[in-house]
Amino acid sequence: MNVADFEFDLERNLFDLQAELLDGSYRPGAYRSFYIRDPKRRLISAAPFRDRVVHHALCNVIGPLFERTFIGDSYANRVGKGTHAALDRCQSFARRYRYVLQCDIEQFFPSIDLTILREMLARKLADDATMALVDRILEGGAPVLTGEYAMHWFPGDDLFAVNRPRGLPIGNLTSQFWANVYLNALDQYVKRELRCAAYLRYVDDFLLFSNSKRELWAWKDAVRAKLANLRLTLHERESTVYPVTNGIPFLGFRVYPTHRRLKRRNGVLFARRYRRMRRAVACGELRLADVRTRVRGWIAHAAHGNTWRLRRALLRPPVVVHRYVGLKRGAQRAKPLRGW
């Protein structure tokens, strides 16, 4: 509804927003938060639509200044990158190296230290008005994830360390962009200091490849120390070294040097959704055209792995409408879906 309200009088709303940004009176609104399980429980925070317009405008202006400093193998929330490009790169490395160090950062978005982040942004942004806008966005989002953060103590901390501002709301475009800015320090360290030729990162999941297990374990210690400088911690149990032939669980797939498999959980969840869609069509609550759109979206993702037999098995039950069930207006009559 807030999108419709904003666009109903779009020109006036945009000029009002522009005036607030120019005179410095702009203040972010309250977030609307809700939990999802994907599969971990996460708190998603949605800013008011007018604030999202500001986030996009800000990233359009400052993004190119930081983009040129990012490494090529950082794949999250960047034009021309994305999950499928990251999967291709992962498999390319798996074909060239014997072992992988897989790392995951604990409580990444709730743990981001806003003082450190602001210093990183200020090194590039010399304009006071832009930094004032950045400060307002950071301050507005700081309390959102307070309840999601479990305190970690780092060397040199005093009792006041618990009061340090931290956390970027999951859901903001600025949060996704600033997460790349924050971890660019790690990317540069791995590439320049550790001299790791085969490294890639997607948000807080990152992989280092080598032909030496000993080298990878040494790199893990070095990465742990570097993350401590950023006030971040590794998931120790999930951050480990193993042969690439075991398969690398990454971005919804298990990646092998020769092939990829969709994670079992992804297939199970789709099978449940597909059953619900078939029942909805049978009751006249869903159109066949809508089912086609949803199923083809999943197929487009699953097709990036070796999943032809899986797709055929999951989609074998046809979608039909029972003749004796009353249809809602606009629903289509029974016929199986073909041509997946």
User: Mean of the per-residue pLDDT values for the chain?
Assistant: 90
Query: Which pTM was predicted?
Result: 0.86
Q: Token digits for 90? A: 């992962």
pLDDT recorded at residue 282: 84
Q: What is the tens place of the pLDDT at every residue in 251-284?
A: 999 999 999 999 888 889 899 999 898 888 888 8
Quickly count: other Cβ atoms within 10 Å of residue 160's Cβ. 7
The count of residues in the chain is 340
Residue 217 in this model has a pLDDT that exceeds 90: yes
Note the pLDDT of residue 323: 47
Paired tokens of 129: 């008005």
CA torsion angle for 271, 274, 278, 280 (degrees, to 10)? Answer: 120
For the cut 80, the answer to whether the pLDDT of residue 330 exceeds it is: no
72-122 pLDDT per residue, tens: 999 999 999 999 999 999 999 999 999 999 999 999 999 999 999 999 999
Per-residue exposure over 296-335, b if at least 16 CB sit within 10 Å of its own CB, e if not = eebeebbebbebeebbeebbeeebebeeeeebeeebeeee
- Angle between the N-to-C axes of helices 114-124 and 49-67, in degrees from 0 to 180, rounded to the nearest 10: 60
